[in-house]
Chains A and B, each alone.
Chain A
């Protein structure tokens, strides 16, 4: 084959690749994998409740053919068949839904499942969604994959403006909050979680914001030292810390200063961050002295 002919074929291939769907050919996901799609996906399995919510928010909910059992929002998501757990997914159930795209929460734990889907010729997309700052790029990435960047980018822009506005607010006094996830052993939410920022935006202060982990086991003594003003419970189930002698050393527990917030907007970062902040700000202002 002559050099000229090769160049000609290459140019033709490039023209084909770029000509039809310029957006789709260039998408690389947050795991660094190129997303192999010939056309915008029609049958999507979402292995993350947060991505299920984003797909609905962007208007592509009707293309979902599978969700995890944890998908609590929006309520319409409940009508989609569950494929079980999102981490360590059951690939037989996933492929039985005949998806042309499987969206994953980006974590190294999913690498094996993604490689397996690759072998089966099913495209996958890994999306990072740990912090509020991840929402904007996640929305844009989904828009590029779905072949409608205009809609996604305008939603992302609006969200980012709202986030920036919330971040510019200042508070004279911040309520020191202990974000308690579990009681025995005490597991607290650290600065590595988006909840820490939600608390900050709501005018509070996560007393364990200096921990880089999303959550960590700590000692009650360490909690006592940080002397939280309130104990913030974001779990659906109540924790039995009140009335337990070892917890009585924490002033906020002894004086019954508990703040409870419920809802999936506290379960993962989402476009509803503004609502979460407003709800928490209200709870903090009524629940604290």
Chain B
């Protein structure tokens, strides 16, 4: 119990620290007044309407990606699984690039198109992997995800090469991941939406433990394996699809945080999933804070920063665990 309290305290400190950091030179007093609502003016606006929603969205998205990664790694029993493995990023990218190539300028055009593309890829991969009746073959799921993703990426590349609008190249920047679009609206949309998939995945903690042993043992131990697999895949993908549409592709978090938590915290999903959520959220919050401050006023794609800080930490963990 104590270690949970310590973890939560550390994560809370990370969130507060991230709100205090930014390209605008605000003192701690400004930040505090902005947070508590006892001030008006540009500084309060920056804290309340730019930094706070951005930090919260980064936390929710990072946490969701980690939980999704943990669930998918157990589902396909492959340590390389991550939330984007199953063709989702390709579909989202294709949707976004198409929207920009068609010059749809509505504020929500690109996120909605990315969501549609991601859901299209999910359903296509699902259709490919459901063989003979209703059996979801996880090996076919993996292969289907990889080829559908590659195909979508190729179509996206073709559109970018042929499009007369130079802006289409900027879609790539969007894909690299950023929380620049964060607003209270985006946080609210994601928070409301994510509750159900996260609850469903947490509810499947015990079947996930069993699935990680293999489908046969899981079946013997009383799991409805086929139903669990289908629910897992669709829930995890639906959660990632919305994360991608709001923040682009933030690689690496969903791959590495689950492993890191398994190595240091807990192997059973009842503890693994919540821990992965807060650790993944905190990692992305830190990465985003660095992305917007280190080279300020320039901003780096957050997906690059997650890998830059995550890889060395992970390598150290794996080395220690192996020895």
Contact = CB atoms under 8 A, between A and B. Distances in A.
Q: Which of A69, A224, A237, A246 has the most CB of B within 10 A?
A: A246
B200 interface: no
Interface stretch (A25-33, A137-145, A182-190): A182-190
Contacts of B170: 182, 187
Contact of A224 (B46, B107, B164, B183): B46
Interface in B1-51: 22-25, 42, 45-46, 49-51
A222 to B, nearest CB: 3
Contacts of A226: 297
Interface stretch (A103-111, A160-168, A211-219): A211-219
B50 A249 contact: yes
Interface in B142-194: 164-165, 167, 170, 173-174, 178, 180-186
A249 B173 contact: no
B173 A185 contact: yes
Interface in A173-200: 182, 184-187
Interface in A237-251: 237-240, 243-246, 248-249
Q: How large is the interface on B (under 10, 10 to 19, 20 to 34, 35 or more residues)?
A: 35 or more
Contacts of A69: 164
B42 A227 contact: yes
A185 B42 contact: no
Nearest to B300: A217
Contact of A185 (B24, B53, B167, B178): B178
B110 interface: yes
B184 A221 contact: no
B106 interface: yes
Contacts of B110: 184
A220 interface: yes
A225 interface: yes
A246 B174 contact: no
Contacts of A227: 42
B53 to A, nearest CB: 8
B292 interface: yes
B109 A211 contact: no
B174 A240 contact: no
B298 interface: yes
B51 A240 contact: no
Given A221-B46, A224-B45, A224-B46, A245 B24 contact: no
A227 B46 CA distance: 12
B253 to A, nearest CB: 19
B147 to A, nearest CB: 28
A235 interface: yes
Nearest to A251: B42
B202 to A, nearest CB: 30
A219 B296 contact: yes
Contacts of B183: 244-246
B264 interface: no
B23 A225 contact: yes
Given A185-B178, A224-B24, A240-B107, A245 B185 contact: yes
B182 to A, nearest CB: 6
B184 A245 contact: yes
A2 to B, nearest CB: 62
A239 B292 contact: no
B167 A246 contact: no
B298 A246 contact: no
A243 B297 contact: no
A218 B180 CA distance: 9
A195 B268 CA distance: 58
A208 interface: yes
Interface in A33-70: 69
Contact of A221 (B23, B109, B178, B301): B23
B86 to A, nearest CB: 25
Contact of B103 (A208, A211, A237, A249): A237
Contacts of B53: 246
A243 B107 contact: yes
B105 interface: yes
A182 B167 CA distance: 8
B299 interface: yes
A216 B184 contact: no
Given A218-B298, A222-B296, A224-B42, A237 B50 contact: no
A214 to B, nearest CB: 13
A222 B24 contact: yes
A246 B50 contact: yes
Contacts of A244: 107, 181, 183
A184 B298 contact: no
A219 B182 CA distance: 11
Contact of B299 (A219, A225, A235): A219
B255 to A, nearest CB: 23
Nearest to A218: B297
15 contacts: A69-B164, A184-B178, A185-B178, A185-B299, A187-B173, A211-B298, A217-B301, A220-B50, A237-B103, A237-B167, A240-B105, A240-B107, A240-B109, A246-B49, A246-B53
Closest 4 CB pairs of A and B: A222-B297, A245-B183, A246-B183, A222-B23
Interface of A: 69, 182, 184-187, 208, 211, 216-222, 224-227, 235, 237-240, 243-246, 248-249
